[in-house]
Chains A and B, each alone.
Chain A
Amino acid sequence: AQKVTQAQTEISVVEKEDVTLDCVYETRDTTYYLFWYKQPPSGELVFLIRRNSFDEQNEISGRYSWNFQKSTSSFNFTITASQVVDSAVYFCAPSYLSGNTPLVFGKGTRLSVIA
């Protein structure tokens, strides 16, 4: 089965620090989608970003940025100037075969931002 690895199980930072969450995936496909989801303490997974494998432009959205590197099969997520509200579990999830297979979730990274 194709895998996704989020090597960091838990990260703890002090408010206003920058933090990067790592994601490495395995695939033999040339066309696939990559997602990041956030799961706050309330439990509902919230969509953050979708990228397709043809678009290697890095993206910035407010305090969030994503670094997609196809050559290393990595799709890392950075939060700049972290806030307590960023505390959550973050999941990286690829969907292979042009999106025609279900999302494969990593085990998640629990981020704690301390005031």
Chain B
Amino acid sequence: DVKVTQSSRYLVKRTGEKVFLECVQDMDHENMFWYRQDPGLGLRLIYFSYDVKMKEKGDIPEGYSVSREKKERFSLILESASTNQTSMYLCASSPRAGTVNYGYTFGSGTRLTVV
């Protein structure tokens, strides 16, 4: 079965800590995405990547960075966590657009609380 795995379901971190959120997919997908989800705001795109070592800013990249050293892994980094980064973080992957099975597969999310 197709899978996107996020390393932690729940995470509590302190203000100022460097935080790594890991996402791994086993579908050989080219594209990977990080969204955050907040009540009343829906899903907002943080960063995405269309290939290894490539990254593109989404709508709300401030305070975040990403790393994609291998095709299957896309890491989201909070350089210095702040309370306004408390949120649900969702990772997704997809094959290239236009392919027969094009669509996003999501991980189950990481609920991050920054205290």
Contact = CB atoms under 8 A, between A and B. Distances in A.
Interface of A: 1, 9, 33, 35, 37, 42-47, 50, 91, 95, 98-100, 102-108
17 contacts: A37-B106, A42-B108, A43-B88, A44-B109, A45-B92, A45-B106, A47-B103, A50-B103, A95-B97, A98-B97, A99-B97, A102-B45, A102-B58, A105-B42, A105-B44, A106-B42, A108-B43
Contact of A91 (B42, B98, B108): B42
- State which size class the interface on B falls in: 20 to 34
Contacts of B44: 105
Interface string B35-79: 100001111110010000000001100000000000000000000
A35 B97 CA distance: 13
Contacts, number: 52
Nearest to A92: B42
B97 to A, nearest CB: 3
Given A102-B48, A102-B58, A107-B41, A47 B98 contact: no
Contact of B35 (A44, A105, A108): A105
Contact of A99 (B42, B58, B102): B102
Contacts of B90: 45
